[in-house]
Amino acid sequence: MEWLRYHIKPEREELPLDWGKIFGRESEMRVEIGFGNGEFLLHQARKMPEVNFIGFELSITSFVKAQKKFYRYGVENVRLVMIDGRFGLRELFPNDSVSHVYINFPCPWSKKKHEGRRITHGDFVETLAAVLKSDGVFELMTDNRQYSQEVYDKILSSGLFRVFPVMVDKRREVQTRYEKKWLSMGRHTYLIRAEKVRSATVERIAWGGEDVHQKIDFLDSGKLKLLVGKVFKSGKKVFVVKEVFSSSNENTHLLKIVSSDGGFEQHYNILVEKHRDFWIVKLDNTCQPYRTPSVKWSVREISKKISLT
């Protein structure tokens, strides 16, 4: 399982990450979001061994395929994070730290009701302008002309980038899996290239995410069971209690939670544990979420709800 070494899990690390420590060297950083089976990342990493490459991907299947590929080629300068790239780019890097960000053939999510799923949605352009170095480059290739126009307009209107005219059917040294697929079907490709000219500020919601422990004197286990299915909402924060499991002596309870911060979803467990004459409510360490506002709020809110007053 040596090929697993590319996968890093920064949920418990202090943010932004210390990339020099992770790679064992300080070097230029380039990021690819949605690397799929890893063709582009592999090609770039082999061509520029002096650069540190970071890839974000959500699909487990792609993640495994790409890792095996990097291992086969003995690549040393790549690290991968299984995370929504929009969150990863904003939360894992300090300002002015990345030289290039690439996206190849993102799903355009053409329907209006799905626009929130587009990689370039929300504060993405501001995030780019925060984490890219001055003159840093963003490149996005797509087979969807309308989407390319929308991204072009969005970047241009931000005033944060110098945007080059969209390059139609530009061939690069490597073709990704989706690029080959669309080309074999006779489709055109559109390459957007933009260079940062001004910085922007973005709010980092997971930085300084201290641990959340709550102490309560008495537990109302009746109230605990009633939490199943309950949805809690406040501004951009949402969480739902999916299930509650209890030990036979009722001294330990585990609540399965799904939370969201403006669409960034996480699944984790909250542990309610009896100590000598009090109870502790905390995040269970089996699956660790990023300490976002909704995660911290869920621990605090649940302690309040289950406390016997």
Ligand X SMILES: C[S@@+](CC[C@H](N)C(=O)[O-])C[C@H]1O[C@@H](n2cnc3c(N)ncnc32)[C@H](O)[C@@H]1O
Residues that bind ligand X (CB under 6 A): 33-36, 56-59, 62, 84-86, 104-107, 119, 176-179
Query: Minimum CB separation from ligand X for residue 229, in Å?
Result: 28
Query: Minimum CB separation from ligand X for residue 59, in Å?
Result: 4
For the record, the structure tokens of 241 come out as 């209690």
Query: Minimum CB separation from ligand X for residue 55, in Å?
Result: 9
User: Nearer Cβ to ligand X, position 9 or 162?
Assistant: 9
User: Nearer Cβ to ligand X, position 58 or 197?
Assistant: 58
Query: Minimum CB separation from ligand X for residue 211, in Å?
Result: 27
User: Nearer Cβ to ligand X, position 37 or 303?
Assistant: 37
Query: Minimum CB separation from ligand X for residue 33, in Å?
Result: 5
Query: Minimum CB separation from ligand X for residue 176, in Å?
Result: 3
User: Nearer Cβ to ligand X, position 39 or 301?
Assistant: 39
Strand order in the sheet with 237-246: 213-216, 279-283, 264-274, 252-261, 237-246, 231-234
| Closest-CA residue to 102 (of 64, 157, 49, 142) | 142
Query: Minimum CB separation from ligand X for residue 117, in Å?
Result: 7
Query: Minimum CB separation from ligand X for residue 231, in Å?
Result: 24
Query: Minimum CB separation from ligand X for residue 206, in Å?
Result: 16
Place of tokens 């690397």: 35
CA–CA distance, 166 with 149 (Å, rounded to integer): 8
User: Nearer Cβ to ligand X, position 36 or 289?
Assistant: 36
CA–CA distance, 108 with 125 (Å, rounded to integer): 16
User: Nearer Cβ to ligand X, position 62 or 97?
Assistant: 62
User: Nearer Cβ to ligand X, position 53 or 105?
Assistant: 105
User: Nearer Cβ to ligand X, position 130 or 306?
Assistant: 130
3-state secondary structure the chain: CHHHHHECCHHHCCCCCCHHHHHCCCCCEEEEECCCCCHHHHHHHHHCCCCEEEEEECCHHHHHHHHHHHHHCCCCCEEEEECCHHHHHHHHCCCCCEEEEEEECCCCCCCHHHHHHCCCCCCHHHHHHHHEEEEEEEEEEECCHHHHHHHHHHHHHHCCEEECCCEECCCCCCCCHHHHHHHHCCCCCEEEEEEECCCCCCCCCCCCCCCCEEEECCECHHHHHCCCCCEEEECCEEEEEEEEEECCCCCEEEEEEEEEECCEEEEEEEEEEECCCCEEEEECCCCCCCCCHHHHHHHHHHHHHHECC
User: Nearer Cβ to ligand X, position 138 or 297?
Assistant: 138
